[in-house]
């Protein structure tokens, strides 16, 4: 899976997710550090990457409707320490079938995962 981590996530996740066979880019790697959300979003879409973020600017499901993008994972932890973020995201990729999240809008909290899938066209 091709992944783009938002800069609000620990860089340790790059090696952790890469160990599962994923190709992971960060804004820092691409010279996008400090770029606005729309620039990051456009880069992720242009590259066909699954965006992982904790930025609430990506929380509007109407704007980021399932099926209109590659995939979004919004991580919302009660106490988002660097370690908690790494543990939660790594745990999701270890246990969940993230390959089936293509086109989905996913929200992960401390205890729950909500996956919104694209509607099936009839």
The band of 119, judged by pLDDT with boundaries at 50, 70 and 90, is confident
Does residue 121 fall inside a structural domain? no
The yes-or-no verdict on residue 74 having pLDDT over 70 is yes
Does residue 48 fall inside a structural domain? yes
* Average pLDDT of the segment spanning 107-118: 96
Residues of the chain with pLDDT > 70, as a percent, come to 98
Tell me if the pTM is above 0.85: yes
Does residue 122 fall inside a structural domain? no
* Average pLDDT of the segment spanning 59-83: 96
Number of domains in the chain: 1
Q: What are phi and psi of 15, to 5 degrees?
A: -70, -35
Q: What is the pLDDT of residues 27-42, one digit of tens each?
A: 998 899 999 999 999 9
Sheet holding 23-25, edge to edge: 23-25, 2-5, 50-53, 72-75, 105-108, 113-116
Does residue 12 fall inside a structural domain? yes
The yes-or-no verdict on residue 113 having pLDDT over 70 is yes
d(CA 1, CA 67): 17
Domain of 90 in residue numbering reads as 2-116
Mean pLDDT over each residue of the chain, to the nearest integer? 95
The yes-or-no verdict on residue 26 having pLDDT over 90 is yes
Closest CA to 116 of 95, 101, 96, 99: 101
Does residue 61 fall inside a structural domain? yes
């Amino acid at each position: 899976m091709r992944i783009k981590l938002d800069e609000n996530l620990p860089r340790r996740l790059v090696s952790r997710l890469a160990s599962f066979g994923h190709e992971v880019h960060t804004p820092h790697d691409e010279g996008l550090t400090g770029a606005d959300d729309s620039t990051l979003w456009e880069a992720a879409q242009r590259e066909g990457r699954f965006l992982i973020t904790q930025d609430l600017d990506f929380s509007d499901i109407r704007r980021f409707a399932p099926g209109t993008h590659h995939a979004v994972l919004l991580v919302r932890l009660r106490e988002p320490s660097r370690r908690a973020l790494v543990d939660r995201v790594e745990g999701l990729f270890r246990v969940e079938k993230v390959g089936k999240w293509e086109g989905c809008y996913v929200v992960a909290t401390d205890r729950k995962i909500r996956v919104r899938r694209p509607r099936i066209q009839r």
